[in-house]
Structure 1
């Protein structure tokens, strides 16, 4: 990863050494809390350097400072050279210490993508794959949900999301032929300025000579869509670079049918809760038929996800859905399958 496209929000975190100094900016609150707790800092260039000789003593110092009301003050850890990296909130620093193993996984960037097949419901041919992030570790598997939860706590959400996109693009090279789509999740909240934040992703696309038209970026299911204009700007930036965009889990939570006209995605993925036993559940059938009708009127392609039964697949095809994905068709695997049952 080049530094050209790194900013404060997704830069590489500084290492936490077993001994060194906890650095704080000089202000009245910090000075009062430090001296009140009997800590003996060095004062150099408007910073307080508090020595520690073990991770445990570092945690104890942070605890003292938090109890003194300094949880939101920005701090850093440095070695004997007293070079202060980018400071982060003290409460976030504490989480990085507590979640050091997860932080090391994110920093190491040892990720791979697993690919779940997506089929064309009219021809039953493979249309593409969804890329799903996995840790490339032979001894210990880390659930993606746990990894992203740790990233959120430790202020590394943006870095992990960026690396997930990078991994998905690199992983398709030599495995997925040109002309076949890769659906890649992204978190809108990690993209502060699309024109800048997405340049790293676009540089990876260029580096590996991947056709932009083969990539579909989809809003990840856990994200609350509370800033439509921001998401529209992200979609616009992706589309301007020749890529496609998708809205995931439509019908569940925050992704509702009434925002389709505002966002104009290329694809919508209908929530698996509506797909489950849709051949039997009349309420689900009504929603799916409505979703297909509205999407078709706007020229949006429809994908049913979470298909686990033949009957669900047949119902989705019968009401005019374009594509399908789910365990019935294939589970996520490291090496993309070339054929699926349909």
Structure 2
């Protein structure tokens, strides 16, 4: 019993000696795991991960950093880790940004010397804007003011800040609100099996809303499956990392991983040309990659209205964007002209500009712009057609046109639920029919709504209608399906999702649960309302339900929205004859009652 206790000091001293040997001999191995852009299908950056010597029990990073913290060598370990990571990153010429981990409490240690990281960056031949300091929270942070000053010091040097593992720390949310980081990384717990977990999906929607309000870009960690990747893309998350793309490697490939090629991008709603990137097109001359900086300066000098120059190959492929402000700022530094004037513009161009296809919807472009780093938030973007350069788009034009479209959309939306009204419903249905997409048109009508409205008043009646609209948006697919509000208690859903039946059954079940909240305790106990019908006869009415008439649209050419509207309206009358909520499907001449004969799947409850 006593022997292990007697050997612990020796083990501790051996551990300390091993760590000191590692630090003195510089025996750290940096590995790199890519951060990928799902929309651009390319590398956005790399997270540097440190390992100890393979033969050492300090090889694993948790043991390595735990030992360093225990022995008071954390500052030295992190400094050497940065040196090794920066040198390897520069030597391999990896594209994009470099994310380097840092413990928040180290930044406030007395032996931490500010300025060393900038010296390492400059010695590696990198630009400060390429480095992202990623705060990993292993210990609680108490002195937020000191932390804020340390972070501001990094920002003044040109570095960006990322907050790691949001949702898995002692004070992550407060760090987020206090520091306003450029990036927020979501802990892998919230990504694991997210395609089957609506709570996790709702959490990520909340995080995305918060990120937009504070100007942060979200990065999802721990992506291991195709389903997780696709769900994150559907939710609007562009930057991800995980084993699905690549494990950490000392010499990673420069080519994007095959998993990126399997992405099915969210299919946008049909838009006319005014809704597409081509409406923003400005014809701007391009320059070749071998154009000198001096030549570019002269082009900018001759045109004061020119804010950027696209760098395009001989095959019309855009590879970068030379930004006027960034160029002039660099040249005004000490020895700036001497260092860069004779060099090619590729040394100063922005290598990852936003490139939008001419037929990309403006809403999608706007979302991509909000996800850019702050330093590039107002930059011009390149417009291409099938990957080949067409011209330039400007953020000010995008904002103007989107505002006009929003005003037009608001005029056509239902004022109560803000869902699209009759015009957009018909336009979308006709467009999808023209493309001969397999789709189902669902007509939703509330049962016993008039009696409820007369009994409880229009205020609660309106709230009940808004609740149905919210539930529809919660369960139907955000890109494959379309939801509209005709008026009153009539709604329409145009579904292209393959699991539309399960989604509609979930709508019925969820509405049945939530609608009870609008009744008094007495009426809930009675199971309904005693009231007069339209003929003045006193009788009992059960709770408000939903009748859904679902029509499988034929793929024949010539079918129009008006033709389907008439047919689904007749089907609705049949659905309303059933007692309580119902779901009726018509495929050709065949009609089937899907509910109340079937139950909702567990995955959607």
Stretches of structure 1 that go unaligned for 5 or more consecutive residues are 1-59, 64-90
The aligned residue for residue 246 of structure 1 is: 162
| Structure 1 segment 290-309 matched on structure 2, within 5 A | 290-309=206-225
1:175 corresponds to which residue? 92
Choose which of 159, 166, 179 in structure 2 pairs with 1:263.
Answer: 179
Distance 1:237 1:217 in 2: 12
Contact 1:248–1:255 (Cα < 8 Å) also in 2 = no
Number of residue pairs the alignment of both structures matches: 252
Q: Give the match for residue 134 of structure 2.
A: 218
SS of the aligned residue for 2:85 comes to helix
Q: In the TM superposition, what is the alpha-carbon distance from 1:96 to its structure 2 partner?
A: 4.5
For 1:97 and 1:256, locate their aligned partners in 2 and report how far apart those are by CA, in whole Å: 35
Structure 1 CA distance for aligned equivalents of residues 173 and 31 of structure 2: 29
Residue 106 in 1 paired to residue 44 in 2?
no
Map 1:11-22 → 2, pairs under 5 A = none
- The aligned counterpart of 1:205 is 121
For residue 256 of structure 1, report the CA deviation from its aligned partner. Answer: 3.4
* Deviates most, 266-275 or 225-234: 225-234
Does the CA-based 8 Å contact 2:35-2:46 persist in structure 1? yes
Superposed displacement of residue 105, structure 1 = 1.4
Tell me how far apart the structure 1 counterparts of residues 98 and 19 of structure 2 sit (CA, whole Å): 27
Counterpart check, 1:285 vs 2:201 = yes
CA 196–135 in structure 1, closer or farther in 2 if over 3 Å, else same:
closer
Deviation, 1:101, is 1.9
Is the Cα contact below 8 Å between 2:58 and 2:64 reproduced in 1? Answer: no
CA distance in 2, matches of 1:154, 1:220: 19
Structure 1 position 220, deviation (Å):
1.3
Quote the residue 1:234 is aligned against: 150
Q: Which runs of 5+ in 2 are unaligned?
A: 1-5, 261-605
Task: State the distance in 2 between where 1:306 and 1:124 align.
Answer: 18
> Contact 2:108–2:150 at 8 Å: present in 1 too?
no
CA–CA separation in structure 1 for the residues paired with 2:35 and 2:57: 28
* Conservation of the 8 A alpha-carbon contact between 1:110 and 1:137: no
TM-score (structure 1 length as normaliser):
0.68
Asked if structure 2 preserves the Cα contact closer than 8 Å seen for 1:120 and 1:126, the reply is yes
How far has the Cα of 1:182 moved from its partner?
A: 0.7
Aligned equivalents of 2:214 and 2:15: distance in 1?
A: 48
Structure 1 residues 255, 130: CA separation in 2 closer, same or farther (over 3 Å shift)? farther
Q: Is contact 2:53-2:59 (8 Å) kept?
A: no
- How much has 1:217 moved relative to structure 2? 0.6
Q: Give CA deviations for 1:13-43 in whole Å, capped at 9, x if unaligned.
A: xxxxxxxxxxxxxxxxxxxxxxxxxxxxxxx
* Structure 1 counterpart of 2:35: 118
Q: For residues 211 and 142 of structure 1, what CA distance do their matches in structure 2 show?
A: 30
In structure 2, which of residues 82, 103, 108 is the aligned counterpart of residue 165 of structure 1?
82
Match for residue 149 of structure 1 among 48, 66, 81: 66
Q: Is the 8 A contact 1:194 1:237 kept in 2?
A: no
Which structure would you say has the larger Rg?
A: 2
- For the residues of structure 2 that align with 1:141 and 1:191, how far apart are their CA atoms? 23
Query: Could you tell me how far 1:257 is from its partner in structure 2?
Result: 3.4
Which residue number in structure 1 is paired with residue 239 of structure 2?
Answer: 323
Structure 1 residues 139 and 101, CA, compared in 2 at 3 Å: closer, same or farther?
closer
Q: Retained in 1: the 8 A contact 2:34–2:241?
A: yes
CA distance in 2, matches of 1:186, 1:139: 23
Report the TM-score, using the length of structure 2 for normalisation.
0.39
Q: Aligned pair in 2 of structure 1 residues 256, 274: CA closer, same or farther (>3 Å)?
A: same
Name the SS for the 1:284 alignment partner: helix
CA contact (8 A) 2:32 2:249 kept: yes
Following the alignment from structure 1 to structure 2, what is the Cα–Cα distance between the partners of residues 159 and 183? 19
CA apart distance, 1:99 = 2.8
Q: CA deviation at 1:203?
A: 1.1
How far residue 284 of structure 1 moved from its aligned partner, in angstroms, is 1.1
Q: 1 or 2, which has the higher helix percentage?
A: 2
Go from structure 1 to structure 2 and tell me whether the alpha carbon gap of 1:278 and 1:200 turns closer, same or farther (over 3 Å shift). Answer: same
Measured against aligned partners, the alpha-carbon deviations of 1:275-299 in whole angstroms (never above 9, x if no partner) come to 1111111111111110011101222
2:105/2:141 contact within 8 Å kept: no
Measured on the aligned residues, the alpha-carbon RMSD in Å equals: 2.6
SS for the counterpart of 2:18 is: helix
Deviations 1:134-156 (A, max 9, x none): 23557887111111121122221
CA distance in structure 2 between the aligned counterparts of 1:281 and 1:117, rounded to whole angstroms: 26
Contact 1:257–1:291 (CA<8 Å) still a contact in 2?
Answer: no
Distance 2:250 2:112 in 1: 31
Partner of 1:147: helix, strand, or coil? Answer: helix
Aligned structure 1 segments of 4 or more residues deviating by more than 6 angstroms: 138-141, 193-196
* 8 A Cα contact 2:106 2:112, kept in partner: no
Q: Residue in 2 aligned with 1:133?
A: 50
Deviations 1:98-146 (A, max 9, x none): 5322321122212221000111122121101100012355788711111
**Aligned residues of 2:165 and 2:187 also touching (Cα < 8 A):** yes
